[in-house]
Amino acid sequence: MSVLNHPQDVRLGLGTWLSIGSSVVAELVSQFPFDWLLYDLEHGSSPESTLPDQLRAGANMNTRAIVRVPALQPATIARVLDWGADGIMLPHVSSAEQAAQCVSAMYYAPKGNRGYSTTVRAYGYGLKRPEDLDSVQPFCIAQIEDVEGVRNASEIAAVEGVHVLFVGPGDLNLALSHQRGDNIINFETAVRQVADAAKQHGKQAGILLRNPSDLAPMKQLGYSCIAIDSDLAILRKGYADIISNAAQTET
């Protein structure tokens, strides 16, 4: 829980996805030196009400807690930050206006319109109030998941308060597959455009990878905020390996 830090002084490196919604898993993963953990409220398996316990279990001064909210809902964004998240990932950002609205929901006046309470978990339930509210600068990660977002990547990256352009490969691949007309871009081109846009404005480029072997190529393209796999996928693979190995011993 470190929302008083200045994100511009901290760059997010290696992370991983937490989709199950288990506090036990969050606590376990926090024992490893990840730079950040993504708590997923968009496609995750548990309701929003379980998030505070997950954040408590995963609390680690060296690991940032980022929450992917379901949509651009200021009340949800403020509540998640009050619970102690270090930042917000907003899915399906396709315009600079959307990114600016997210930033506004994350910041107190005069930079934004987030409501202020001294008694929330982020401030020790009233025991550690920030001396200067301008020092409260949570991470804002704009997720690029459609064609329009790729085409507007430079404008999105230019928004003050946005720290990372993050490619969602599943949705982006799906969106790209439905393009029509002559001005079609492929996934490789889209990934390069997002990385170039982030670099142009001094922001980070991020992406979720399923295969660790893709880490080096993505870093070469300029991606530095990288999440590898999810708790659910890691468990699934582990169980599949058990069944596969057991089947081989029976042949």
Q: Is the four-CA dihedral 52, 66, 63, 10 of positive or negative sign?
A: negative
Length of the chain, in residues: 251
Helices (H), 49-176: 51-57, 74-82, 96-106, 147-151, 153-157, 169-176
- Burial (Cβ within 10 Å: 0-12, 13-18, ≥19) of residue 234: middle
The DSSP code sequence of 201-217 is TT-EEEEEES-GGGHHH
- Cα distances (angstroms) measured from residue 128 to each of 4, 120, 123, 204: 11, 10, 5, 30
Residue type, 119: T
The residue to which tokens 């969106």 are assigned: 175
- Catalytic-role residue among 43, 92, 163, 201: 43
Quote the CA–CA distance of 51 and 108 in Å, as a whole number. Answer: 22
6 catalytic residue (yes or no) = no
Residues designated as active site = 43
